[in-house]
Structure 1
């Protein structure tokens, strides 16, 4: 090794001497850019290159720009690009593609298109790399319709010949929104255009199909990939399939897939093991999940933050908060830094256990750790506060959410409206509803269901009636929940005639009542001592294959015991009572 190269890569490429920078022949040391792993050294090198006269070739500047970009220092790369322009260097389409890629990776695709305009003004012909970067930026920003328009424009106006990366980027965007049909159509277009699909092409669609639980379609595409295209599955493909099978509870098939993977000498990676951990945790099988983690550690694959997040969430879902906290602490001891997802799981666990003080403590701890709560964080905390009746604190948190720049989503408004209604603050819920104006939230059937239910429960049946009519006037279709809560409101006020009319209207409107609707109406009749239609309703339930819930069954038994209903009804109970209720000692005295 000569002295120049020795100085260049001393200490593993983390030391570059000034004398080398000043005296090296840049044109013969292009490989030095690949040795740079430290941003400061890259910046020093750029400064030294900028001071040389004559200036080194733009090719060398491009190589340095590429090195910084590969380090994912996108903002710095753009700064260096601007300096290159100030130096009067003749930037090429390669230079522009790097700058545009950096803009897009920073979610500044608008600036990327501005640079595309610069290309045209400078008579630089945009290449496929530039358009790929712009497409990727649009996909990153969830602007999939604009990405589709740009893709079609490339083909129609023949601006460039799309390559496999172009197609893969579009397929990634389509699959991001579960648009599997169009993604598959694009795969067929690739074949027509003689653009050979890659493992990434097939893997992206297979992963999307698995996430949408379309496992048969996923395996069909896998067979096409392997047997028709002679493309062998990789660890990513197997991981997608194993995750999909586990999430559907098809454990035996997942086990076979894992064995097949091993037989093909493809070792499971962290994501494969994490998929298994996550699936076990969602099934409540946290012991099995821990066993998987132990196996992965034995095999030299160390759990990452995603793995631990799944395990913590698993314990939180089971209400085992002490164990969840132990995992949290052990994770930090291993040098892993908890993220927003970690805290969200713990907050959810504490809130479900009604330990709101501990949840608040952890919520405040997030800020101390430099973590910005997201919409899920605020939604979890709002629901927790409303559950324990702390409406004032919930409102303050809702205001804080706005102040922190977090935009409440549909779920947020649902939580706040339901929280207010459940705490008998229906007027405040209605005020918030009217403040929404004509937003799409104001045209959401779930929101109407919450308000109609709240108004009906707390003696505001006229308000509920107005809301019910209002949603119909807006062209919204009431669902079975809407009808059920409205019927419940009528029954609570003793308006059984209106309840019955609305009940009969359900079938006419193409929204047949479910077992909950029947139980609500039955309870309304029984509580208001209206027995004429009880037998008919029970018979209809039997005909529809519905069952009684515990509270309705208890009311029926009480009415039979007092002689208000005939004992002959007991014959129907064998068909209408679920087995678990038949085995309930508190409900079996009537036998």
Structure 2
């Protein structure tokens, strides 16, 4: 039987420890506890069990060994109670437990998982004060913490210091962690260089190492490089891909519309007995939806369910977004309701997609209703949500509401990004509020946004369309004075502005300047010029422009072609012009009934 003091101490505890202790005889209680600590640790399933066991261990004399305490810390860390694990570590220090490098390593890992890497380095100081030589596991934990906190430069410095000062011999985890950090910032070239360094140092890369780089290459649209690295991994290193590797590649291939290769990759998975998981299916659903193939996406979900994999929130969000992009809001709402019935709570991404769909359908009232609904549900709109709503208001001419929402962003600690400013500037210009747009532009000062070529394109186009070609000219010259390089759209909107005001001489000079500036005209440039010449009934350069279009392999669009037909029908252009037009008409326009009498 337990003695009285032990019973009093534990009578408020749960059955876990009481059951474990009830078998102890009073004479052997002390020895039994020490010998059974490891088995008790294995039985831990929740934090209360762990805290009770730590309390019992801390009252034993002598104290259990540091190995037992480390095992308990590891158990608490595995169930992701990092703060509690740190509290227990502090209590170990107070109890005078002789810490070792494993205790330190666990504490540092917990600090880093809590985004408290600074505290992790403070714990490292504890190593030196206790004359404990830090090993590779400790440095790996610190390196991972820096990567988690996006402190990549500090991570690089630590990594180089480890090698230069020979503080420890980096292992595969060290290299893989550093590679993860580099890939996180799209630094694929350096990540690949580090992979080669591993080989030179006779440190064999793991599947995690390769998969990390492959995933980063796929995300950066370097799919062919990713496939090349896969081949090296399998053929040269004998490392077989896992489901994570396949997911990255399938997602990358689908985004590029390389469906045949994606199907082949799926077949390879099946052949290697690797079952697609929810991430595999979600990648396929997302890719189909972005291509507008929502029926195919739903078919994937059906296959998913048949295989025992159930769609998660990300899967449903992709499908909802797919229907919203097609303007099928009733179907999107059905998916939304189906998702909630399955117990999945919609998040900001879900609502942002629905808001985008409503705004695209110009149903701003429904969008406003849903915007308030998400706030009532405790969801905080993010920058994407605000951008969607602001654009929606501008599209229906509600500029005051758009500006109010723009101001509200700051009040809600949502910092407008470059897309927000582009949306606001374009919305103002499209609603003939060019002066307000220019005032906002001036408020940007010398910020990065003030040097955004897309912003200049919006303002030049807005000024030109609203009869302010002189303002457009000043803006165009201003971006050059700043050292910015006009892109083809910049030239196109400026040429369009000149043509709209009948300044064909200016438009021609700018057109000729494009080639000189290393920015060759595209098909839109020629269409804009041709429309400008036709609308101003200036036909001298028309034939030459058509010939140049033919030489460059460009084609006419429907509006330009229609304008030509009208001028030919009115006798303003000779029918001989048809021989040029016939070569520049895309196949999809040949069915125009007005073209049947060309011959």
Greater mean alpha carbon deviation, residues 230-239 or residues 512-521: 230-239
CA distance change for structure 1 residues 408 and 107 in 2, over 3 Å: closer, same or farther? Answer: farther
Residue in structure 2 matching 1:261, options 266, 269, 290: 269
**Larger Rg computed on CA atoms:** 2
Which residue does 2:16 correspond to in 1? 16
1:375-390 equivalences in 2 (<5 Å): 375-390=383-398
1:32-85 per-residue CA deviation (whole Å, 9 max, x = no partner) reads: 234323233334444454555655444444333322322223333344444444
SS in 1 for 2:432: coil
> 1:529/1:470 Cα in 2 relative to 1: closer, same or farther (>3 Å)?
same
Quote how far apart the aligned CAs of 1:508 are.
Answer: 0.7
Note the C-alpha offset of 1:86: 4.7
Specify the SS of the correspondent of 2:416: coil
Residue 210 (structure 1) aligns with: 218
- Distance in 2 (CA, whole Å) between partners of 1:285 and 1:377 is 24
Match of 1:516 in 2: 524
Q: By how many angstroms is 1:449 displaced?
A: 0.9
Q: What displacement does 1:510 show?
A: 0.6
Query: Residue 403 of structure 1 is aligned with which of 396, 407, 411?
Result: 411
CA contact (8 A) 1:14 1:38 kept: no
Report SS of the residue matched to 1:379: helix
**CA separation of 1:313 and 1:14: change in aligned 2, threshold 3 A:** farther
Match status 1:98 vs 2:111: no
**In the alignment, which residue of structure 2 is the partner of 1:336?**
344
SS of the residue 2:38 aligns to: coil
Deviation at 1:587, TM superposition (A): 6.4
Q: Kindly report the root-mean-square deviation, in angstroms, between the aligned alpha carbons of the 2 structures.
A: 2.6
Q: How many residue pairs get matched?
A: 579
* 1:144–1:56 CA distance, 2 compared to 1 (3 A): same
**Structure 2 residue aligned with 1:310:** 318
Residue in 1 that maps onto 2:379:
371
Structure 1 residue 507 corresponds to structure 2 residue 515 = yes
Give the stretch that moved more between structures: 473-482 or 527-536.
Answer: 527-536
- What is the CA deviation profile of residues 364-384 of structure 1, one whole-angstrom value per residue up to 9, with x for unaligned ones? 222233322222222222222
Q: 1:226-305, aligned counterparts within 5 Å?
A: 226-305=234-313
Deviation at 1:482, TM superposition (A): 0.7
| Counterpart position of 1:6 | none
> In the superposition, relative to structure 1, how do residues 402 and 116 fare at CA in structure 2: closer, same or farther (>3 Å)?
farther
Residue of structure 1 equivalent to 2:8 = none
Alignment partner of 1:481 is 2:489: yes
Deviation at 1:458, TM superposition (A): 1.1
What CA distance in whole angstroms lies between the structure 2 residues aligned with 1:427 and 1:218? Answer: 48
- Corresponding position of 2:3: none
Q: Does the CA-based 8 Å contact 1:135-1:169 persist in structure 2? A: yes
String of CA shifts for 1:194-225, please: whole Å, max 9, x gaps: 11111111222222233344343333322322
Between the aligned partners of 1:114 and 1:29, the Cα distance in structure 2 is 30
Listed one character per residue, the Cα deviations across residues 331-366 of structure 1 (whole Å, up to 9, x for unaligned) are 111122222222222222222222222222222222
**Aligned-partner Cα distance in 1 for 2:166–2:429:** 58
Q: Which residue of 2 aligns with 1:583?
A: 591
Q: 1:585 to 1:87 in 2, by over 3 A?
A: farther
Q: Deviation at 1:580?
A: 1.7
- CA shift, 1:477, in A, is 0.5
Gap change, CA 1:569 and 1:301, over 3 Å in 2: same
Instruction: Determine whether 1:355 maps to 2:355.
Output: no
The correspondence of residues 132-281 of structure 1 with structure 2, limited to 5 A, is 132-281=140-289
Instruction: Find the counterpart in structure 2 of residue 457 from structure 1.
Output: 465
- Aligned-partner SS, 2:415: coil
Q: 1:415 aligns with which of 423, 428, 449?
A: 423
Q: 2:77 aligns with which of 44, 69, 72?
A: 69
Q: Is there any run of 5+ residues in structure 2 with no aligned partner, and where?
A: 1-12, 23-28
Task: State the distance in 1 between where 2:34 and 2:471 align.
Answer: 79
Q: How far apart in 2 are the matches of 1:473 and 1:558?
A: 42
Confirm or deny: 8 A CA contact 1:453 1:485 kept in the other structure.
yes
Contiguous gaps of at least 5 residues in structure 1:
1-12
CA displacement 1:251-277 (0-9 Å, x = unmatched): 233223222222222222222222222
- Matched residue SS, 2:343: coil
